[in-house]
Amino acid sequence: MTQTPLPPGHRWHDMGGTAAGPVPDDQHDFALWEKRVDALMVLCATKGHFTVDGLRRVLEDMGAEAFETMTYYERWIVSVSQNLIEAGVITQSELADKMQQVAARGPTYGEATA
Amino acid sequence: MPHDHADHDHLSPSGHPYRKDQDAPLTHWQQMEIALRELLIDKGVTTAGEIQNQINAMDSRSPANGAAVVARAWTDPAFKAALLADASAATREMGFDIGPMNLIAVENTQAAHNMIVCTLCSCYPRNLLGLPPDWYKSRAYRARTVKEPRAVLAEFGVTLPDGMTVRVHDSTADMRYIVLPARPKGTEGMDADGLAALVTRDSMIGTGLPLAP
């Protein structure tokens, strides 16, 4: 996507004042999995495992391409997972193993949710 | 206008397009959500009940909460003063569970109109109004609102008098805003419940105005 070059010192997410097209008018109702991501973020932050600043730091490090190609809660689940790995709450291999188990359960969200 | 739908032949009774079923093939990111949630439950970090309670709490928050706050400010001068002095304390005093949110109310007058945005991310008074609309999180709204607010307002169907000041407030996670819209003309004698029905979500973001009575 064509974007205005950012002023020096501005990272991609610092988009205030840059040129952009019309404000989009599409709206979706949040799916259950998205609400669960939101809930996990709030609960883990409330319990002190990471902060909203940690959430944002990973979102920002994911870069502009992730912003354009992934949905909001797709980016959030990556950030929540990464923050919990960094905090030592889970490990990368635990997450990978569990994702394989989930994938083996079936092709839809309903089937894969135990 | 962002809430007009061109194709009126395919609208539900609520006036919105019918939604697609959410039974598409499981995505990688949905697998990650399921896996992470189960890991956190297995490890005792949280429970399924706690997650559901948090979802229920978030679902129970809606613009109706903000509308009740605005309507009270329109009818109760002492409350309005308290709201403008400390919106977090004032909304908690009304009984709303806004968690740790630091909320600031900005008042629209005949001379000034306020809008809220989060240019860096998507900060929004979610613990009062519920989750933000998708457009609030869009590149276009984040990028343009601080530079050409009147052009953005025009896309929402709002045209302000030329002499009116437009103030745009850029939110952060630690400082979130709600617009206190100006009470519409012709509402003298209406009670708070009647007034609350005139207060739209967008009027509390500043991309809209209250409905006419």
In this predicted structure, the answer to whether residue B1 has a pLDDT above a threshold of 80 is no
Which of B62, B88, B122, B138 is flagged as catalytic? B122
Whether the Cβ atoms of residue B139 and residue B131 lie closer than 8 Å to each other:
no
- Name the burial class of residue B44, with classes exposed (0-12), middle (13-18) and buried (19+) by CB atoms within 10 angstroms of its CB: exposed
Average pLDDT, chain B: 93
Which chain A residues are Cβ-neighbours of B141 within 8 angstroms?
Answer: 23
Q: What is the pLDDT averaged over residues B49-54?
A: 98
Q: Which residues pair with B177 in a beta bridge?
A: B104
- In this prediction, residue A4 has a pLDDT band, given cuts at 50, 70 and 90, of low
Cβ of residue B39 closer than 8 Å to a chain A Cβ: yes
For this structure, is B121 an active site residue?
yes
The residue among B212 and B20 whose pLDDT is bigger is B212
Chain-chain contact of A108 with B25 (C-beta, under 8 angstroms): yes
- In this prediction, residue A1 has a pLDDT band, given cuts at 50, 70 and 90, of very low
The residue among B23 and B30 whose pLDDT is bigger is B30
Chain-chain contact of A107 with B121 (C-beta, under 8 angstroms): no
Find the range with the poorest average confidence among B14-18, B87-91, B164-168, B188-192.
B14-18
Fold observed for domain A32-112: Cyclin A; domain 1 (1.10.472)
Chain-chain contact of A24 with B140 (C-beta, under 8 angstroms): yes
In this predicted structure, the answer to whether residue B107 has a pLDDT above a threshold of 50 is yes
Which chain A residues are Cβ-neighbours of B38 within 8 angstroms?
Answer: 98, 102, 114
In this predicted structure, the answer to whether residue B6 has a pLDDT above a threshold of 70 is no
Cβ of residue B21 closer than 8 Å to a chain A Cβ: no
Percent of chain A clearing pLDDT 90 (strictly above): 84
Kindly provide the ipTM of the predicted complex, given to two decimals. Answer: 0.94
CA dist B193 → A111, B83, B146, B196 (Å): 45, 18, 34, 5
Which chain A residues are Cβ-neighbours of B156 within 8 angstroms?
Answer: 23
- In this prediction, residue A7 has a pLDDT band, given cuts at 50, 70 and 90, of confident
Which of B88, B123, B171, B203 is flagged as catalytic? B123
Which residue of B19, B30, B139 is in closest CB contact with A20? B139
Which chain B residues are Cβ-neighbours of A83 within 8 angstroms?
Answer: none
In this predicted structure, the answer to whether residue B11 has a pLDDT above a threshold of 90 is no
Taken in order of first residue, the domains within chain B and their CATH numbers are 27-60 (no CATH), 62-205 (3.90.330.10)
In this predicted structure, the answer to whether residue B10 has a pLDDT above a threshold of 90 is no
Rounded distance, CA A109 to CA A62, Å?
A: 25
For this structure, is B123 an active site residue?
yes
Chain-chain contact of B143 with A77 (C-beta, under 8 angstroms): no
Encoding tokens for residue B135?
């457009």
Chain-chain contact of B22 with A31 (C-beta, under 8 angstroms): yes
In this predicted structure, the answer to whether residue A2 has a pLDDT above a threshold of 60 is no
Percent of chain B clearing pLDDT 90 (strictly above): 88
Chain-chain contact of B143 with A20 (C-beta, under 8 angstroms): yes
Task: Tell me the shortest Cα–Cα distance from B54 to chain A, in angstroms.
Answer: 6
| A88 Rama class: left (phi>0) / alpha (psi -120 to 50) / beta | left
Phi, psi of B182 (to 5 degrees): -75, 140
For this structure, is B62 an active site residue?
no
Query: What angle, 0 to 180 degrees and rounded to 10, lies between the N-to-C axes of helices B28-42 and A92-105?
Result: 120
Cβ of residue B102 closer than 8 Å to a chain A Cβ: no
In this predicted structure, the answer to whether residue B29 has a pLDDT above a threshold of 80 is yes
Whether the Cβ atoms of residue B104 and residue B86 lie closer than 8 Å to each other:
no
In this predicted structure, the answer to whether residue B196 has a pLDDT above a threshold of 60 is yes
pLDDT, one tens digit per residue, over B137-160 is 999 999 999 999 999 999 999 999
pLDDT, one tens digit per residue, over A23-51 is 999 999 999 999 999 999 999 999 999 99
Q: Are strands B176-180 and B165-170 parallel, antiparallel or unpaired?
A: unpaired
Report pLDDT for B24.
76
Q: What is the pLDDT averaged over residues A10-16?
A: 91
Report pLDDT for A8.
78
Report pLDDT for B19.
60
Q: Closest Cα partner for B184 from B163, B201, B199?
A: B199
- In angstroms and rounded to an integer, the radius of gyration of the C-alpha atoms of chain A is 17
pLDDT, one tens digit per residue, over A44-71 is 999 999 999 999 999 999 999 999 999 9
Helix (H), strand (E) counts: chain A: 5, 0
Which residues, other chains included, contact B13 with Cβ-Cβ below 8 Å and sequence gap of 6+?
none
Within its chain, how far is the Cα of B165 from the centroid? 22
The three-class DSSP label of residue B188 is: coil
